[in-house]
Amino acid sequence: MTNALFTILDGIISSDCAAEILASDDAIVNYAEAGGDDIDYAAARRIQTAGRNWLDQQANGNGEWSRMRHEAAAELEAEAKADEPAEAFADSADSRETSKEIIDAILAVAGNSDAEAVRVWEAPTEAEALAVWERVTKNGLRDSADYCWGASGSDWAAQLGIVG
């Protein structure tokens, strides 16, 4: 997956609007989808971190292009390894009877922390529930009933008090 993430990052950096794309997780996910790649928000954040470092090095004249590419690839690899504990939560969608999109959104809201993601899944705050809903539905463009969250099933957004 890391090579795929680097290919996406390399394309973003080469574009005329790299800073704008790297400014938001949604823009990175949309860029990847437009290129035929399917990534989650955790992967988008890894791309975002490595990309911002790369842009900073470019802006500050901190070296040659090939070295910056190598460092960005290495950073994505290191972040992927650091995120491995969260993959236990990410892989729990089936056992939690929860849509993968909701699992990914919970991980994003939880800062990609496995323990925090479990807490959010079990008892989200109002702000966390709204943030998950915003990510999953793309701010209401998708119907929340198309996704399931544990025992609440497709009625999760109503049960969390987000929609009526």
Task: Evaluate whether 98 touches 89 at the Cβ level (below 8 Å).
Answer: no
Q: Can you give the pTM of this predicted structure?
A: 0.51
Nearest to 17 by CA among 62, 51, 53: 51
Q: What is the pLDDT of residue 79?
A: 64
Query: Averaged over 82-108, what is the pLDDT?
Result: 81
Q: How far is CA 137 from CA 85, 102, 130, 150, in A?
A: 26, 9, 10, 17
Task: Evaluate whether 13 touches 54 at the Cβ level (below 8 Å).
Answer: yes
Task: Evaluate whether 18 touches 12 at the Cβ level (below 8 Å).
Answer: yes
Q: What is the pLDDT of residue 148?
A: 93
Q: What is the pLDDT of residue 46?
A: 87
Q: Which residue has the higher pLDDT, 121 or 88?
A: 121
What's the first-to-final CA gap in the chain, in angstroms?
A: 39
Q: Rounded mean pLDDT of the chain?
A: 84
Evaluate if residue 82 carries a pLDDT over 80: no
Task: Classify residue 83 by its DSSP letter.
Answer: T
pLDDT digits (tens, 9 = 90+) for 100-157: 999 999 998 988 888 888 899 999 999 999 999 999 999 889 999 999 999 999 999 9
Tokens standing for 56?
A: 């900073």
**Spatial CB neighbours of 14, under 8 Å, sequence gap ≥ 6:** none
**Exposure string over 64-81, b if 16+ CB within 10 A, otherwise e:** eeeebeebbbebbbebbe
Query: Averaged over 71-98, what is the pLDDT?
Result: 74
Query: Averaged over 70-82, what is the pLDDT?
Result: 71
